[in-house]
Amino acid sequence: MAQGATAAAGNVGTADTAARLHALRMREAERYAAARPRSRAAMGQGAAGFLGGLPMHWMADWPMPFPFVVSEAKGARIVDIDGIALDDFCLGDTGAMFGHAPEPVTRAIAARSRGGLTTMLPGGDALAVGPMLAETFGLPFWQVATTASDANRFALRVARAVTGRPKILVFNGCYHGAVDETFVTLRDGQAVNRPGLAGEFRDLGAGTRVVEFNDTEALREALGAGDVACVIAEPVMTNSCMVLPEPGFHAALRAATRETGTLLLIDETHTISTARGGYTRRHGLEPDLFVLGKPIAGGLPASIWGMTGEIAERWSAYAMAKPAGHSGIGTTLSANPLQFAAMRAMLEEVMTDAAYEHMEALAIRLAAGLDEAIAAAGLDWHVVRVGARVEFVCAPGPLGNGAEAAAAHRPELEAVLHLALVNRGVLIAPFHNMMLCSPVTGADQVDRLVAAFGEVAAEIAGHGDRT
């Protein structure tokens, strides 16, 4: 039964709406559970043997009453053990941004695995990958790690080593993985530990400055003392809703860092959605250090971190002079043959310009469709895009910084939306409203997402069919 109620923009905050959202969430949760007897039997009470009943506690962030158990993830589809297939726009939150199990990667891994899984020595694929990294990402010297978190940690260590400075600077609301020193937030102009951080006994504010993204003046002031080794930044803030750089911000960031002898680390782990070579190459950024994890090996755990010739020279001088002993950089399983086989396949056959063209065209279609659905529902939400990555934000935009993004985040509302989308055949990232278009995503999948979103948005706005 269509309700036909009129909903003014921004009405998704009234008591009436809260009650409607709650009722919708209950209905959707029941529908989800009823459709998945096998997953419910496996996961309804938690999986045996795991702390909290989950193999990784992030899985508790899904909005479903229990996570479904995956039987196969292939291309841009994910199928559960109850036989339900979803259009996957989460794509392992970026690890599978180029589609699940790309054939060139699975082929390369299968072939290489027969020759040894880990050796602590280079193989033929490593020799091929080095020059490709330099060519693709525009920096001459690279190292391989296993996660983007590790790569960021190691690059920051190099930055502190070569500058001899103790501090780093982050943007408020950033996320760069499990990198201790980045977990600060801005409170009354000071960096303080983020409230949710577990087991942290240090005052991280002692080693980290934090300013708002797009605030050039605060940035200049924070770098002025000359004690910051490195600014670590995503070129677009993608982990805090999505905040785009204002015109001139990147030029100002680079100028301020150069003028103060501060290094600039660009973390492209998410913004690699922009183009081959990332946002850096597309927009001519000039980082001293560069990090990319997640999709670089097609979903196999691997990351890369690179540096300019100048930083490499300074690092060599530092490394020769430092006492012998652990550097705190590197892990045993890093730079293994499977990582190189997978990266080679990705760089040669999967992360192509043609793939990006397809991805971006679909993302444009998706963003336009979502915009239309939002307007049709009479909501005051907005949509942001960086290449193949699209985000809807359940608040007016554009957002200028992390504080505005935090205020725009609507966890309850977003959880209902995500769950309702799953029941309509679409999976999007659980942590925020992020959707990725892969080279194997189809226009039909985008159109189904837009239709599902439109239906749910209308219901949330009070226009929907509530039968």
Ligand X SMILES: Cc1ncc(COP(=O)(O)O)c(C=O)c1O
Q: What is the contact surface with ligand X in residues (CB under 6 A)?
A: 147-149, 152, 175-177, 234, 239, 267, 269-270, 293-294
Q: Contact, 421 vs 412, CB < 8 A?
A: no
Least Cβ distance, residue 273 to ligand X (angstroms): 11
Residue 333, SS3?
coil
Least Cβ distance, residue 169 to ligand X (angstroms): 16
Least Cβ distance, residue 67 to ligand X (angstroms): 18
Residue 199 has φ and ψ, to the nearest 5°, of 65, 20
In the bound state with ligand X, the residue whose beta carbon lies nearer, of 267 and 414, is 267
Least Cβ distance, residue 269 to ligand X (angstroms): 4
Tokens of 265: 């680390």
In the bound state with ligand X, the residue whose beta carbon lies nearer, of 278 and 454, is 278
b/e burial code for range 323-345 (CB count within 10 A of at least 16 → b): eeeeeebeeeebbbbbbbbbbbb
Least Cβ distance, residue 16 to ligand X (angstroms): 36
b/e burial code for range 13-27 (CB count within 10 A of at least 16 → b): eeeebeebbeebbeb
**Among residues 391, 371, 396, 369, which one has the least CA distance to residue 381?**
396
In the bound state with ligand X, the residue whose beta carbon lies nearer, of 75 and 177, is 177
In the bound state with ligand X, the residue whose beta carbon lies nearer, of 219 and 266, is 266
Q: Contact, 239 vs 432, CB < 8 A?
A: yes
In the bound state with ligand X, the residue whose beta carbon lies nearer, of 215 and 267, is 267
Residue closest to ligand X when measured from CB atoms: 177
Q: Which residues pair with 393 in a beta bridge?
A: 382
Element (DSSP H or E) covering residue 174: none
d(CA 13, CA 438): 34
Least Cβ distance, residue 436 to ligand X (angstroms): 12
Least Cβ distance, residue 295 to ligand X (angstroms): 10
- Dihedral angle at the C-alpha atoms of 65, 66, 68, 69, nearest 10 degrees? -170
In the bound state with ligand X, the residue whose beta carbon lies nearer, of 149 and 172, is 149
d(CA 359, CA 75): 13
CA 448 to chain centre: 23
In the bound state with ligand X, the residue whose beta carbon lies nearer, of 68 and 171, is 171
Least Cβ distance, residue 57 to ligand X (angstroms): 13
In the bound state with ligand X, the residue whose beta carbon lies nearer, of 299 and 397, is 299
Strand locations in 293-442, DSSP E? 303-307, 382-386, 389-393, 426-427, 434-436
